[in-house]
Structure 1
Amino acid sequence: MVTTDESQPSILTAPLLPSTSASTSISGAVSSSGAVSDDDDHFPPISFNHGRRPIRDIPAFILFLLLSLATLSLGIVALIRRNPSFSHSHSFVFDPISSSCVPSRRLSNSFLLSGSPFFKDLLVVLILTFLLSLPIVLFLLWLLKHFAKQVIYACIPFFIIIPTFLNVYWFVSCTVSSSCRSGFPLAYRVLVLIFVFLLVMIILWIIVANWNRVELTVHIVRVAADALFHNLALFLVLPGLTVGFLINVGLVSVFLVFARFNGSIEPMVGADGKYYCEWRQEGWVPAYFALAIVTLVWTAASMVEAQVFVISGTIAQWYFCKEGVKPRRSIRTSLRNAFGPSFGTVCFSGMIMGAVRVIRAIVDSAKREGIAPGIVNFITQCCAKVLLSACDFVNKFTIIFTAITGEGYCSSAKMTYELLKRNLLSAVFVETVSTRVLVGIIFVLSTLYAIVVCAILKAVSDLNGEIYLVALFAWLLLIILLGFFVHVLDNVIDTVYVCYAIDRDKGEVCKQDVHEVYVQLPLSRNHRPTLNPRSTLLV
């Protein structure tokens, strides 16, 4: 253990708030070390707000409520005023006697759907995958809590082995198969083989370049897994929010379907002078489609932000609780705050993130279609991506700070920036290697699961080439479900980072094991601690 000079407080342990008589010496120590001083500003103490919170960002809440009510009301109107003739409008003919369109006597062709072994096996595999996903997630969380180092170091070689094996396997299989060999010439197979090997080499280079940070990643993942392990009820609440959103999507989708039924079949004069019957939609239907899509995008983004809010509030209550004491009703408190006084802030955050995602989709679409090629378009796309990434970073820490303090969106963004700045922390860096490693782990697990599914189907099923397609769907479903787990764990890492910053700001240590890990993160983009991290825990 490295000791520090008692005559001058450690920069990493001293509270940067000048609330004590030693504020002058602390500020002087910080300034002399090249850090950013607080310029004698008095900042209020920051902690989790357990009391009654005021309602924030009311305009965003009112606008979201109005859009949702308008979508619901017009959807009910569309359902009531639907025209049943839309489903067979093609069978209407013009009646010259009544000068109107009447249904013809033709009967529409009917068809039957026959069962298929492929769809039966696919349905069984997907249902089993969905049911097994929760035990797999809990088991993975337990492993990361107790054996994070072994799991991560054991999975890293598979980041190279699995893509290499799959690349060679498909190449040999396609070469042996006559149908694949005739449909996919040798030259193209070799090009794909070389391209995949280049991707594998890039992955290998990334692993080697970040090898010195793997040990830090192990500690960060273990701390986050421990925090999440103490709040396992989140795995019941967060999917519940997703189910509620899916119900909302299903309801709006029904309204959109029946909105197309609003119109009438009217006679039209063709180019040859004859009368035809054509479905004419009412003018308000396209506007309703636009309203419903905007509402769905906003609702989806707000649901994601609400999940982050609940995760952050729950983990923050666990963090600031005394050792050995479990917080009571932490998830219920976070839910009450998210859908109560801070719901306007959640809506405001969702509006920003929804707009960011729409703009990003437009930029990516323009890039794929090659619209307005040239240096100006390239610079515009780069600037747009930088701006959108900045919005992601700001919003991520803002919603976490809001969940902790109950402040409004704008004030939370400002206070978060000041909190991290005066504690020499960076809002742009929270150790992204941990997220990449977690993504690699779920890729390895999903691939191994797909291989097992493929082997079992070959033993018990009559399918031939469709087995690989069933295994592919199982792989996609499991990686999506495990990706949700990574999303939760990533938000836990960010929340603990903000809580650690609050601890540094007050000169306190609520979770000593967290401080031992997070103090190893860079203090700024170009500054790394020169002291032993454990020296920061000396008092």
Structure 2
Amino acid sequence: MGSGDPTPPTPAAHYQYRRTPRNRLWALLFALAWVAAVVGGVYAIKHRNPAFIHLDYTDPASCPAHPAAARALLEALQEKHKGDWSPSQFVQFTGRWLALSAGLALLLGVAFVKLFQHHAAAMTKATVASQVAIPAAMAAVFLLNGQGTAGLVFGGLALLTAWVFSLWRQQIQLATRLLGVSAHGLAANSGIITATVLLNLAALLAVLPLGAFLGFAVMNGSAIPNPEREGRAECVDAQGQEILCCSWQPNSFAQGYTAGAVVLILWVFLLANQVRVFVTSGAIAQWYFAPAGALSATRGTTLRSLKHAMGPSFGSLCLSSLVLTVSQIMRQALEQAQENNRDMNLIQMCLVCLAQCFWSIVEYLTKFATVMMAITGEAFLAAGRHVTDLLLRHFLNAFASTVWFTPLVIQLATFLLSAAWALVSGGSYYLAHRGSALEATPGVNASVLGGAVFLVTFFILSFLGGILLSVLDAVFVCWAIDLDSQTISQPDVYAIFMAVPVPGRVVEQPDGDIAYGAGQQQQGGGAYQPPTVAAV
């Protein structure tokens, strides 16, 4: 933190405004890795094989280039499928509709946050009801069409879903209040959204040259006979099916560079995600621990947190994102091993499951360690030990059995709103163009438009939903710190989280056995009301 940053009028005891650089070696390692990737990319450009572009993979001789033949084949295919759906015509007819729908999807994203902020109960009930209504509607359709078996299956699924949700009534009510907490926290720190967008753009700019270098690296190699030919003179496989005569084999440099660059790209994206979590958590912590009525304490919270992320804590974030990178690679390797070895015995399957659980726990703790780093400015490992001890000391890991429902609500709401907007966009386009003499395939265009609108809307809402969940994680850790220090920074938020049933402390019985003490539970009164703290 720079010396020019303002100090809050009443210093928050838990949020550290002045930071000491941590884990600087890992920041240096990340910088060296990125520079090495750039140097290797320049080498790949200078030593690429031009034959990669002009290669004719259908020629069994020496694979000479035949641009004229390829162009003639393309023209013949275009003439053959002249009446089929055309991407160029799709863009011509639906371009304005897609742009308008995407623009309105941004407004839908704003409404998405506002709905959870002011009508969290209605959003939660609608999401839950849809999970019962959709299979019930499918059951009715199948029964009306005389497909009794399918109708009974979907009907049973609807009844089972309704029964499960009836058992989760308390969790549903709690999820409603938690979503209100998250939405109000985001509304009070709206700069988080702008910062997140800029961070994603920065990550994309950092990855784009690496992606280009990857393309040039693949060009370092030579053409070889297709291994599927197995030495045959004809370009056929073992079953006699026609295949490409040649294939491209990257050299050892290309293979090594590709592997390293892919890992670095994953590291960059996960680093951007960790910076987002850090900035979100830091801004929310400043808002949460701000003294009542201290309006100046909540101004510039996002910018201050971003300075901490890119300054004193950048090395810690590089380390945390590297841990997540290793975790992702290991999980992918485990999944690949399961796919390649379908005949695993029971012991092997148990070992794979244990490994998957281990890496899931690592990712879970890394997320909360990043939240703690944003609040205290500790190094990554110290923050990890701190937050793990905090959770275990109060048995707040029991909170995970309840809070998992909140992400489910957001994900389902995201899917349903995206699907509804896609249906509206695609249906409106079809109704407006179904009688057009200029458009050959209005139905297909409407379907493709609906799919594109769904993807755009789903991306926007998932982006905002991820921020809401990050806000909730930060508020949860802030509440845990309050509980640990026996303070109440936000009474409304404190009351809501105290509605979460958690087991009591471990106590020793007279006979020496260990047992849990009585659980704590405090019901918050009514729906969540926004704390009286000014927005950023």
- Does TM, scored on the shorter chain, surpass 0.5? yes
Worse overlay, 337-346 or 383-392: 383-392
Report the alpha carbon displacement of residue 368 of structure 1 after superposing the two structures with TM. 4.2
Distance in 1 between the 2:431 and 2:481 partners?
Answer: 57
Tell me the residue number matched to 1:63.
29
Q: 1 CA distance for matches of 2:59 and 2:123?
A: 69
Match of 2:287 among 318, 321, 336: 318
Asked if the contact 2:139/2:151 (under 8 Å) is kept, the reply is yes
- 2:427 is aligned to 455
Percentage of pairs with the same residue? 25
- TM-fit CA distance, 1:132: 2.4
Does structure 1 retain, via aligned residues, the 8 Å contact 2:37–2:261?
A: yes
For the Cα contact (< 8 Å) 1:458–1:467, is it kept in 2? Answer: yes
Question: Quick one: which of 299, 307, 319 aligns to 2:276?
Answer: 307
- Residue 524 of structure 1: which of 489, 503, 512 is its match? 503
**C-alpha separation in 2, matches of 1:279 and 1:220:** 54
> Does the C-alpha gap of structure 1 residues 382 and 195 become closer, same or farther in structure 2, counting only changes over 3 Å?
farther
Structure 1 letter corresponding to 2:418: S
CA contact (8 A) 1:345 1:408 kept: yes
The two structures have a TM-score, normalised by structure 1, of 0.76
SS at match of 1:56: coil
Shift in alpha-carbon separation, 1:258–1:507, aligned structure 2, 3 A: same
SS of the aligned residue for 1:470 comes to helix
The CA RMSD over aligned residues, in Å, is 3.5
- Once the two structures are superposed, the pairs formed by residues 47-196 of structure 1 within 5 Å of their partners are 47-51=14-18, 53-90=19-56, 107-110=68-71, 111=74, 115-120=87-92, 123-124=95-96, 126-165=98-137
The whole-number CA distance in structure 2 between the counterparts of 1:159 and 1:92 is 52
Contact 1:503 1:510 in 2 (8 A): yes
Q: What whole-Å deviation, never above 9, does each CA across 1:78-116 have from its counterpart, x for those lacking one? A: 223334333113399999xxxxx8967873432467654
**What's the counterpart of residue 253 of structure 2?**
284
Identify if the C-alpha distance between structure 1 residues 106 and 221 changes in structure 2 by more than 3 Å, giving closer, same or farther.
closer
Matched, 1:475 2:442: no
**Structure 1's 191 and 262: CA in aligned 2 closer, same or farther, altered over 3 A?**
farther
Which whole-Å CA distance do the structure 1 matches of 2:67 and 2:320 have between them?
55
Matched position secondary structure for 1:372: coil
| 8 Å CA contact retained: 2:113, 2:183 | yes
Taking the aligned partners of 1:166 and 1:121, their CA distance within structure 2 comes to 34
2-structure distance, mates of 1:218, 1:494: 15
Q: CA deviation at 1:354?
A: 1.9
Which residue in 2 is equivalent to 1:34?
none
| 1:217 has 2:175 as partner | yes
Match status 1:207 vs 2:191:
no
Residue type at the aligned position of 1:243: L
Shift of 1:119: 4.8
Looking at structure 1, the residues matched to 339 and 253 of structure 2 have their Cα atoms a distance apart, in angstroms, of 33
Give the superposition deviation at 1:135. Answer: 1.5
C-alpha contact 1:450 1:475 (8 A) present in aligned 2: yes
Offset at residue 355 of structure 1 (A): 2.0
**Aligned counterparts of 1:126 and 1:401: Cα–Cα separation in 2:** 42
* Corresponding position of 1:16: none
Contact 2:281 2:470 in 1 (8 A): yes
**Structure showing greater relative contact order (alpha-carbon pairs closer than 8 Å, 6 or more residues apart):** 1
CA displacement, residues 482-520 of structure 1 (integer Å, 9 cap, x when unaligned): 122111111111111111122223332221111111111
2:175 aligned partner, one-letter code: T
Q: Whole-Å Cα distance in 1 between the matches of residues 453 and 246 of structure 2?
A: 47
| Structure 1 equivalent of residue 316 of structure 2 | 345
Pick which of 395-404 and 359-368 moved more: 359-368
> Following the alignment from structure 1 to structure 2, what is the Cα–Cα distance between the partners of residues 223 and 271?
67
Q: CA deviation digits over 1:411-448, x for unaligned, max 9?
A: 11111122334445337626222222222222221222
The structure-2 alpha-carbon separation of the partners of 1:331 and 1:278, relative to structure 1 and needing over 3 Å to count, comes to closer
Task: Report the Cα distance in structure 2 between the residues aligned to 1:156 and 1:92, rounded to whole angstroms.
Answer: 55
Indicate if the aligned counterparts of 2:267 and 2:321 stay in contact, CA closer than 8 A: yes
Contact 1:420 1:427 in 2 (8 A): no
CA spacing shift, 1:89–1:210, aligned 2, 3 Å: same
Could you tell which deviates more after superposition, 86-95 or 505-514?
A: 86-95
Contact persistence 1:394–1:413 (CA under 8 A):
yes
For residues 118 and 197 of structure 1, the distance between their equivalents in structure 2, rounded to whole angstroms, comes to 39
Q: Deviations over 1:279-300 (max 9, x none)?
A: 7744311111011011011112
Corresponding position of 2:464: 485
Provide the rounded CA distance (Å) in 1 between the counterparts of 2:67 and 2:178: 69
Matches within 5 A, 1:186-265: 199-263=157-221
AA in 2 matched with 1:445: L
Aligned to 1:179: none
Letter in 2 for 1:314: A
The alpha-carbon distance between structure 1 residues 464 and 410, as it changes in their structure 2 partners (threshold 3 A), is same
Give 1:437's aligned residue.
Answer: 409
Q: Is the 8 A contact 1:417 1:427 kept in 2?
A: no
Contact 2:189 2:283 survives alignment (8 Å): yes
Q: Kindly tell me the number of residue pairs found equivalent between the two proteins.
A: 467
1:164 Cα shift?
4.0
Contact 1:450 1:472 in 2 (8 A): yes
Question: Which is worse superposed, 435-444 or 298-307?
Answer: 435-444
Give the superposition deviation at 1:363: 2.8
Q: Greater shift after overlay, 418-427 or 386-395?
A: 418-427
Instruction: Note closer, same or farther for the CA distance 1:530–1:190 as it changes in structure 2 (3 Å cut).
Output: closer
Letter in 1 for 2:129: P
**Residue pair 1:315, 1:492 contacting (<8 A) in 2 also:** yes
* Aligned residue in 2 for 1:297: 266
Given the alignment of the two structures, is residue 386 of structure 1 paired with residue 364 of structure 2, yes or no? no
> Do 1:393 and 1:428's aligned partners in 2 also have CA atoms closer than 8 Å?
no
Contact residue 356 and residue 388 of structure 1 kept, 8 A: yes
CA contact (8 A) 1:46 1:502 kept: no
Work out the CA distance in 2 between the residues paired with 1:156 and 1:271.
60
TM-score normalized with structure 2 length: 0.77
Q: Do 2:56 and 2:63's aligned partners in 1 also have CA atoms closer than 8 Å?
A: no
Unaligned 5+ segments in structure 1 are: 1-44, 96-100, 176-185, 535-539
Q: Which amino acid aligns with 2:183?
A: A
CA contact (8 A) 1:162 1:444 kept: no
Task: Measure the CA separation in 2 of the matches of 1:92 and 1:422.
Answer: 67
The gaps in structure 2 that reach 5 residues or longer are 1-11, 79-85, 234-244, 435-441, 505-515, 526-536
1: CA distance, partners of 2:55 / 2:329: 35
Report what 2:366 is aligned to: 395
* C-alpha spacing 1:303/1:55, structure 2 compared with 1 (3 Å): same
CA contact (8 A) 2:116 2:183 kept: yes
* Matched residue SS, 2:397: coil
How has the CA–CA distance of structure 1 residues 318 and 382 changed in structure 2, closer, same or farther, with 3 Å as cutoff?
same
Moved more, 357-366 or 104-113: 104-113
- Secondary structure of the residue aligned to 1:156 is helix
Deviation at 1:393, TM superposition (A): 2.2
Distance (Å, rounded) in 2 between the aligned partners of 1:469 and 1:105: 35
Shift of 1:118: 3.8
Q: Which amino acid is the alignment partner of residue 259 of structure 2?
A: A
CA change 1:261–1:360 in 2 (3 A) is: closer
Q: Per-residue deviation at 1:353?
A: 1.5
Distance of 1:335 and 1:151 partners within structure 2: 32
